Structure 1
Amino acid sequence: MANQGSSTDARRKGGWLPDADSVQTWVEDLRQEVADAGDDAPRHPVIAEFQDLLEHDALVRMQLERMIAEVPDDEEHGPRHVRDLPELLRLLGAVLTTAPEYSQDSMVMTPVQALLDQTTATPSGLAAYRNPTVNAMLAKVLTAWCEHLDSPASLSVLNDSEAGWMSQSAAATIGIDQYQHDPHGEHWGFTSWNDFFTRRFREGQRPVEAPDDDRVVVSPCESTPYALARDVQRTDRFWLKHQPYSLQDMLAGDPAVDELVGGTVYQAYLSATDYHRWHAPVSGTVERAFVVPGTYFSDADTRGAGAAVPQESQGYMAHVAARAVVLIRADAPALGLVAVVFVGMADVSSCVVDEAVTAGRHVTKGQEVGFFQFGGSTVCLVFGPGAIADIAHQALPRDESSTTPLVHVRSRIATAADAPLV
């Protein structure tokens, strides 16, 4: 299946957002829904809390007002998605009781990102989305939306209408026959949108490559190669145009950095309609597993005020976004310590590590270790210096002129060096 979205925008890679015109149409439709509901429509408690924050924190109010005002409003960039703060709150409130609908060519899988998309690269937006107070409030908004996606009410989009996920087109797009589901049951037997989104493959799908060879590293996610970097530094200026990896920041200062300096980082991104569970890339013993709180909509500031066309920021986001880190001491001596970083971007509100993935527990290559609860964006594998002998051809990132193939979860992406690390 080809990935949706050909734009170089990080959120459009993988089909998370369609082209700008389609997003604009979606925003206008949402604006009309809000207008039709009228001023007497009930307000979600988290939106009331957001309003209270704006009334009592002048700095936050100033940053958010300015980021909206700084969005270009001309023929080149198109109309502003959000005109002012009151409208932003009204539109966010409407999103909190909806789930993403299917579209053959213009899906908006991350609706909060669609509303904020134009503001993220404005000067004030760059500052606002790094503001801890703003992030804390956005976390509450996303948590409230996630609660809706966990509820039976979110099943309204699992139907066989043109915009439903049970339509013939949607079923073919996601390859539903590969997944565990009840083909004759209401909503295919799923209990919520998140239950559908985190669906599991059927037995026999995506077998583990070389299960008895500990030197073979497999893909932890169903994902598309994004970047490959060698001789990665302990600290680097990851916010620059080329977004080099900075291990100290990516791993949130964990002592594991000492073993990984000078090593290799492989990064890949997840597509909107694909599988969103995580699997162990190697067999080994878990040394630590933890979730790092982070930003949700912060972009690298390499394009300044080019607000309507945000730059690719996946490398940057691996250092600042909410993420889960799993550190595995590989059974293959040559691999040593392997770090896996599961990064939630944009509307992704939770990175869930499996309860069994704790310090001292042994995991087997291909074993499930967690999932992205609604959404999911990108994953990084970090290897120590000299640990990797070769990268599989399918795992090599392509340039923008080439089609990058989807790498199946649990398929080979690398092979360990022959000699143990010393």
Structure 2
Amino acid sequence: MFTSERLFALGQYVLPQHRLSRLMGSITRCRNTVFKDAMIRSFIKLYGVDMEQALDPDPAAYGCFNEFFTRALKPETRPIAPAPDAVICPADGTVSRIGAITEGRIIQAKGKNFSVTDLLGGHAQNAKLFANGRFATIYLSPRDYHRLHMPLSGTLREMTHVPGKLFSVNAATTANVSNLFARNERVITLFDTEAGPMALVLVGAIFVASIETVWHGIVTPPTGATLRTWHYPENPPVLSRGQEMGRFNMGSTVIVLFGDNVVEWEESLTADSIVCMGQSLGRLTRQTAQSSDRLQRRG
């Protein structure tokens, strides 16, 4: 039976996904005052955006729609969880799925899962770092804050851009397109933290004009057919817990990965939970926290 959600997902197979996303990128960067102001005000009204949370609450102050879309917020609107063992949520959004990595696979939706190896661009050695670990998938809707922040303090080990499709990442598509997050274009960042390896996977989607990080700038576009990896053996970027690490120029999904027995997710968080950047997504396990304390005392 073809439901409306199924038809919506199937229709995306024939769309010129990258061409549409490039077009959206041009539109959202248009600096014509009349056009961009009308677009911003229409968006605020359509999605009920609370501009009082924005660092600059004046819609006309933004040079283009994309500057508004990736706007900074007042720090007090997104307080960082104070507990020293808290793993903070990296983004505003909705929890798509959260839980354990089982036999090297992550739940995407009911009856659908995908492999960590595929998600990480086929890098089997990196996938082993997260064997029997934990994952959290957070979907950012158009109305959400679109800057991404560090769940824990970390030192960047490597970054990989994986070219791919640009399916929508909303609930209807994740329920109907197999291996969605391992098929879409994405930027994989791998950090060393007090909890061991941590990956933040920034997943692209249709109309996501670009993905950028604070240390590199815009990673995509350009989009090619070849996987690209950057290593940071000398003077690697070091980011603190809660610090901005990147942003989506239009909305998408971020997936957080940790290794085995290093974090425990908050029991209250389930699929469809609404989350805000800075709140506690989970806690370091007692063993991990104790090891971290010993290392800090030695330092």
State the TM-score bracket (shorter-chain normalisation): 0.7 to 0.9
Residue 140 of structure 1: aligned partner = 19
Residue 180 of structure 1: aligned partner = 55
Alpha-carbon deviations, 1:164-212, whole Å to 9, x = none?
246xx569x21101002253xxx4300111111101102322122127x
Displacement of 1:310 after TM fit? 5.7
Which runs of 5 or more structure 1 residues have no equivalent in the other structure? 1-71, 78-113, 130-136, 300-308, 399-403
**What RMSD over aligned residues (CA atoms) do the two structures have, in Å?**
3.4
- Equivalent positions of 1:341-360 (< 5 A) are 341-355=201-215, 359=232, 360=236
Alpha-carbon deviations, 1:308-355, whole Å to 9, x = none?
x7662588322111112111111x2xx210111121222223221222
2:154 aligned with 1:284: yes
Residue 370 of structure 1: aligned partner = 246
Displacement of 1:235 after TM fit? 5.9
Residue 407 of structure 1: aligned partner = 275
CA–CA separation in structure 1 for the residues paired with 2:108 and 2:100: 18
CA–CA separation in structure 1 for the residues paired with 2:118 and 2:26: 30
Residue 164 of structure 1: aligned partner = 42
> Structure 1 residues 285 and 164, CA, compared in 2 at 3 Å: closer, same or farther?
same
How many positions carry a matched residue from both structures? Answer: 270
Q: Percent same amino acid among aligned pairs?
A: 20
2:187 aligned with 1:324: yes
Over 4 Å off, 4+ runs: 238-241
Which runs of 5 or more structure 2 residues have no equivalent in the other structure? 218-230, 292-299
1:418 to 286, 289, 299: 286
CA contact (8 A) 2:21 2:206 kept: no
CA–CA separation in structure 2 for the residues paired with 1:220 and 1:229: 16
Alpha-carbon deviations, 1:54-81, whole Å to 9, x = none?
xxxxxxxxxxxxxxxxxx8xxx97xxxx
SS of equivalent residue, structure 1 residue 204:
helix
SS of equivalent residue, structure 1 residue 228:
strand
Alpha-carbon deviations, 1:130-172, whole Å to 9, x = none?
xxxxxxx5323321320221121386253499x7246xx569x
| TM-score under structure 1 length normalisation | 0.56
CA–CA separation in structure 2 for the residues paired with 1:251 and 1:154: 41
Displacement of 1:286 after TM fit? 0.9
Q: Which has the higher strand share?
A: 2
Residue 297 of structure 2: aligned partner = none
| TM-score under structure 2 length normalisation | 0.77
2:69 to 197, 203, 215: 197
Residue 42 of structure 1: aligned partner = none
2:30 to 128, 131, 151: 151
Displacement of 1:261 after TM fit? 1.4
The answer to which structure, 1 or 2, has the higher relative contact order (CA under 8 A, 6+ apart) is 2
SS of equivalent residue, structure 2 residue 286:
coil
Amino acid at match of 1:344: G
